[in-house]
Each structure stands twice: as structure tokens, then as C-alpha cells.
Structure 1
Amino acid sequence: TEDSTLTVEQARAQAAAQAAPLLARYAIAPRGERTAVDKFTFPDDMIGYQDIARLEQVSQKWLSPSYDELGISTIQLDQTLAGSTTDCSSSFDETQQGATAGKALGFRLTLQGQDGKPFKLLHEDKAVPGSRNCPTSYSLSESYAFTPDGKSAVLAVLVQRFSQGFEGRDRRFIAVTGEVP
């Protein structure tokens, strides 16, 4: 049940206790390591609804992992126009609206090496699903890496999606995962 009187720590502890049997059953262990974080978006804190517009303004389009074992110097996010079955024309400013018919704001996520050149395309929107609710911008929140024994490393990047909600700005997260060569 949803209890709004819980603190973030209490809610996380409750969720962990409820998930423990499934995690044990499928031998899922928290072995990934947080490699980068956008400190301006407070991923570890509960954010008030009134603060979302401010967060959208200060959020970052790149993250630099805290170590270079995977050869990644930068995780780069670029906003793109992508196809959409939802009419998102109102989410663009007036100067862009002519070229945006049938389009929505999407994103491309690339990994850049120590030389600053992209070496892996992790994600690129060709079409934006209606469930994203006509995004107005994207930014990066944090990344995690895990290297299973004898296998290639995997990366999980949390992308923040901002859109216009019922009573103001809305923020949701998209997890993008991929193998790192």
C-alpha cells in the first residue's frame, strides 16, 4: 500500500524487504557500482513537485564516470527529433513548430572514449512512444556499471525525461542499458 508518511529511507527499506524473496529466488545481487551522478538533480533525495522546473534548467547532458576501467570518458546525451503518433507540437517553442509536425523530442545516448570520440551508440530514438507524454527535455541523472565474471561489462544509465504535467513540470526516469565492448 502507499503510505505518504514514510521517509525515503523507510520506503526503500520496505521495498527491499518485500523484494528480498524474489531477489534470493533468482540469485539477483546488487553488484553494480555507481560510476557517475549529476549532483544538481539530487538522485538520492526526494524532490518536491515545485522544484522540478528548476531541476530541468540545471540538469546536465553529459556525465563523466568516476573511473576509466571501461574506457569511457563521457556519457553524452543529445536531444533529437523523432517520429511520434502523438501531437507534440505544443511542447516546442514557436520558432520550431513548423518543422515538428508528427515529431516529438527524443534522445541519443553515446559513450565517448578517452580520445573524446564516440565509440558506442547506446540508444537513439527513431520514434517516441506516447507514454513519454511529449517530452520538453532530457538530461542524465546517473550511471551504473557491472562486469560479470568472464563477460563484457554492462552499463545502466538513468535518463531524466521532463514534460508538461497536469499542474506543472513532470519528471520521470528511463533506464538505458547496454554492453560495453
Structure 2
Amino acid sequence: MISGLRSSVPACAAMFFAGTTSAADIASIHPIGFSADGQIFAYEEYGIQDGSGFPYANIYALDLAKDTYLPGTPLRVRLEDNDATIAKARWQARNDAEALIETHELANHPGELVAFNPITEVDEAPHRLRYRSMPVLPPVGEPNTLVLEEVPQPLDPRCEGLAEKSVAFRLRFTERDGKPVDDAVHEDQRVPLSRGCVGGYRLGGVVSGATPGGTGIEVALVLVLSAGFEGQDGRWIAIPIKTAGPGTP
């Protein structure tokens, strides 16, 4: 299924518009978990804004079937205090999200980070992940190959002088369980304003989970690289690539 982005917010976006925040920081990411029925996935991103030096932490809870935020989310914290720390920002964001996490029992189903490709990795392709969905040895199942393709877009006038290009992206599988396929699972219809002056993406990881009935769930983690004050900022979005579907036991 090709999922489009909503007109008001991007699907699972975790962005700030460049110029309204600080610059040149790559957010860290921490998956929180899935709901028991596989319908919800939550994750946290956090870091220090390079321009201001303020710590921030954001928690996103996503309805995977609808490819939208849950009502009342995302939860964003930025501590504008020179004595503030990342630990304090993360604690406040987690405290704000405590009821949501408990209601959906997200911490009881943390999922597995079955593939990860950080921006510091130099030997792996930034737009491709080949992985198995089951984190076990001996291996179970054959590999999947997920690729991200950047799609050039007209440059937003507000980004002139800040970015040389603007790009959307699509995700597709070229291999599932060891068999060649051509299976598109996401395609941007446009570049949402909340991504800022985006000039590129990195396919950063895959988190897998399962429902009590054994249906597999997978979410791709995409790092969005946008123009910042001193370089490129990196913020995370999560894209459902395999969902349980409504009513799955």
C-alpha cells in the first residue's frame, strides 16, 4: 500500500522548520514500543540544538493503519535554560507521555531494532537496508531488502540560499523473504513544510514487532536531513512498512 502524507502534517513526521529552531544537530532515536494489537508505535528523539545549545526531547505516537499521529501527539519538550540537560528534557517528555505509554502498554512490547544504519556508518549504503525480520540464531526466514529513493521536487522559495535542492522520497521492497519483488510501501505526495528545507534522507533502521496472533509489524526509521544554521539537521520520521491491519487478533 502506498501511503500519502496528510495536508496538515506529514505521516509520522518529527520535524521542525529550519530557521525557527537551531541548526546542525542529528537527533538520537529510541524506540518505545508497539501496542499489543500492533496498531500503535511510539518512539523518542532527543539531542542538543546546535544553534541554541538547548536540550530537547520529542515523543511521537503513531496510528500505523492510518499513518497519522495519535490525538494529542507529538509531545515536544525544549528546555530553554543554560543549566538544563538532555536527561531533564527526556524525563519531562517521558513524564508527559506516561499515561499514553501505560494506556497502550507500549513498554510491554518494545519491538526489536532488526536493522540500523546510523549516519556515522561509512561502509553501508545510506538508502538501502537488507535484513531479516526475526532476531534469532540460527537465522529464521530469508532477507528483505528495503530501499529509499529520493524524488526531486521544486525548491520552496523560502529555502533559496539555504538549500540547493528539495527532495521527497519513496520506499519500496526489492526483496521479501529472499524473493525478488517490486513492492512500494510509501510515496510522498509532496514535501511537507514541517520538514524544513530538506535536501536528503537516510534509511536509518527497521523496528519489528508482532501481535499476540503472530502477525508481524514493521516500521522504517527515516532520517530527514534539512538545512540548519551551521550544516544539516537530522530529525526522524517513522513509516509503517508492514502493518497488522484493523481487527487483527
Indicate the TM-score class for this superposition, using the shorter chain for normalisation: 0.5 to 0.7
Structure 1 residue 118 displacement after superposition = 3.4
Counterparts of 1:80-91 in structure 2 under 5 Å? Answer: 80-82=151-153, 86-87=156-157, 91=163
Counterparts of 1:14-53 in structure 2 under 5 Å? Answer: 15-31=93-109, 32-41=111-120
Task: Report the equivalent of 1:92.
Answer: 164
Task: Report the equivalent of 1:121.
Answer: 184
In structure 2, relative to structure 1, the CA distance for the partners of 1:39 and 1:26 (3 Å cut) is: closer
Q: Which runs of 5+ in 1 are unaligned?
A: 43-54, 94-103
Instruction: Give the whole-Å Cα distance in 2 for the aligned partners of 1:150 and 1:138.
Output: 34
In structure 2, relative to structure 1, the CA distance for the partners of 1:36 and 1:118 (3 Å cut) is: same
- 1:77–1:108: 8 Å Cα contact kept in structure 2? yes
One-letter identity of the residue aligned with 1:155? E
Does 1 or 2 have the higher relative contact order (CA < 8 Å, sep 6+)? 2
Task: Report the equivalent of 1:150.
Answer: 213
Of 148, 153, 170, which aligns to 1:108? Answer: 170
TM-score (norm 2): 0.50
More helix by share: 1
Counterparts of 1:135-174 in structure 2 under 5 Å? Answer: 135-150=198-213, 152-174=215-237
**Backbone CA RMSD of aligned residues:** 3.3
71-80 or 113-122: bigger deviation: 113-122
Q: Which runs of 5+ in 2 are unaligned?
A: 1-76, 135-139, 245-249
Structure 1 residue 105 displacement after superposition = 0.4
TM-score (norm 1): 0.66
Identity of paired residues, percent? 26
In structure 2, relative to structure 1, the CA distance for the partners of 1:83 and 1:161 (3 Å cut) is: same
